Structures are given as C-alpha cells and as structure tokens.
A and B are shown apart, each in its own frame.
Chain A
Amino acid sequence: MISWLGYGVLTAGLVLAAWTGWQAYRRRPTTEAQMWGAIVVEAGLLVQTVIALVRLAGGASVTEPVTFIAYSVGILAPLALGFYLARLERTRWGSIALCFTAVVVAVMTLRLLQLWQGHV
C-alpha cells in the first residue's frame, strides 16, 4: 500500500457516503455524478489493491498476511454491489444502499492501513 493513496481512498469513500447519505435524506435517487463518483472510488480501490499485492509479493511484511489479502480482494466487492443496487433502485433506497457500501469500503480501507502499518 501507499499511505497517501490509502487515506485518499478512505476520504473519497467517506465523501461519497456523506454525499449519497444527504441524497437519501432528501428522499432522492442517486445522481449521475454520484454514480461516477462511485466509479472513481472503485478505480482508486482497484489501484490500491494492485499496489498492495505487488508490494506484498515484493517482500513487504504485514501483520496477518492472509487477512490482508482477503481484505485487499474483498474490498472490491461492496461498492460494486452498491452501484448495481443504486442503478436498479431509482428511489432514495438506492441512495441508502450506495451510502452504506461506501462506508464499508472506507472502514475496510482503514483496517487495511492498520494491517499494513503494523510492519515497521
């Protein structure tokens, strides 16, 4: 991992969550811009996963490597699901689904950073 990228993705996930959460509060479906926002965050997650796995293969040591790999790969799933559901559900419930999955990837990123920084 690269710390600034990790924290960047984490922040982007929280921003997306706040944005879609606000949209849900206003009882509206997700906007086109929010869907692109989700794509951008997902792209960031993908880059982060590739970098993390490459650096891991290159000999970087992390605490609980199995857990780290599982999180690195698993983190790509939630936002994709939220995106799909928000596309399907053109009501505020779609906004809630995307909001929740954005929070999940932010939390997972934090956990990944903790595992990564466990090595000195």
Chain B
Amino acid sequence: MSEPLRDPAPDAVDRTELEGPPTGPRRVLIALYAVFALAATARGIVQITTQFDAAPLAYALSLFSGVVYVAATVGLVTDRSWSRPLAWAAVGTEMAGVLVVGLLSIFDGAAFPRDTVWSRFGSGYGYVPVILPVIGLMYLWQTRRSPDGPPHPAG
C-alpha cells in the first residue's frame, strides 16, 4: 500500500490519454466510434425489446455490433496495457462482421428481413460502417510503435 501524495480521493476516470502527445486522428476516431457505439447499441436494444421475433438474427447482430463499437471506443480512449489488444480485436471483429453481414444480407435476404447496422455494408449509415474499420485498422497499424512506450505485441 502506497500512500497517496496529493490526491486524497483519486480520480476514478482514466485520464492518461490527456497526458500523452496530442493525437488528432485518434480523437477523430474516438468521435466516430463513440457515435456508432451509441447508435448501434441503442438500436439493438430498441429492436430486441420491441420486436425481437421479427428478425432474431438481425437484431442480435445489431446489439453485437453495438458491443463491438463500445469495445473499440474503450480501446481507443484508454491507455492501458490491454487497450491496444482490445482495439485490435474489436476493430478486426468489426471489419470481419461488416463484410460477412454485408455479403449475407445481399445473398441471403431471408436471414435479414430487417436491417442491421452492418447490412448491405452499412448503406443505411452512408457506408460509414464499412469505411470505419479500414480507417481504424490503418490507424492501429500506423501507430503500432507508440513513441512513449514499448511496442505492443498485438501490433
């Protein structure tokens, strides 16, 4: 047990990202991912609570995509040892998800009588859902050797 030096009540919020070098692209990504986390999660919850029987697979996927966006957002915002692996996993899942669901929704319409965020490659959201993981993966790849820390094995 170490005694707190200045902070009698340590801040529970992780503020490490404010101390690092300014990372503009990362903050724009945070904006993008946070918005989609809110949109997809809320949409999934609304769909499942109001009309789950109409398209169970599509609605479960909506909620799943929301959870993935939330995980990606957390991975981008925080600066812990698990942050980048989490971001890689989430953005990778998102990339695979939007491609698989995009293809399935086109070739197997019966499984998707209702739309999800990832249906038809995210056409309902201006195709941002298919572009976003590409940008996310590019960002993670570009920054895989952070100047203020050891290179992450996940990179």
Binding site for B on A (CB under 8 A): 64, 66-67, 70, 74, 77-78, 81-82, 85, 88-94, 96-97, 100-101, 104
Whole-angstrom distance between the Cβ of A27 and the nearest chain B Cβ: 11
Q: Tell me the number of A-to-B contacts counted with CB atoms below 8 Å.
A: 51
- List residues of chain B with CB within 8 A of the CB of A78: 35, 38
Please give the residue numbers on chain B whose beta carbons come within 8 Å of chain A beta carbons, in ascending order: 18, 22, 24-25, 27-28, 30-32, 34-35, 38-39, 42-43, 46, 49-50
* Closest 9 A/B residue pairs (Cβ): A93-B24, A97-B31, A89-B27, A91-B24, A96-B28, A70-B42, A85-B27, A97-B28, A66-B46
In whole angstroms, what is the CA distance A69 to B43 when docked?
12
Contact of A101 among B35, B42, B43, B49 (CB under 8 A): B35
What are the residues of chain A within 8 A of B38 when measuring CB–CB? 74, 77-78
B residues near A81, Cβ cutoff 8 Å: 31, 34-35
Give the residues in chain A near B35, CB-CB below 8 Å.
78, 81, 100-101, 104
Are A93 and B46 in contact, with the CB atoms below 8 A? Answer: no
Q: Contacts of A90 on B, CB cut-off 8 Å?
A: 22
Q: Decide yes or no: A93 and B30 within 8 Å by CB, A74-B42, A81-B35 being known contacts.
A: no
A92–B49 CA distance with the chains assembled, in angstroms: 41
Known: A81-B35, A89-B22, A101-B35. A70 touches B27 (CB 8 A): no
Alpha-carbon gap, A64 to B50, bound state (A) = 9
Given contacts A66-B46, A77-B38, contact A88 B27 (CB under 8 A): yes
Cβ of A100 and Cβ of B49 under 8 Å apart? no
> How long is the Cα–Cα vector from A112 to B118 in the complex, in angstroms?
21
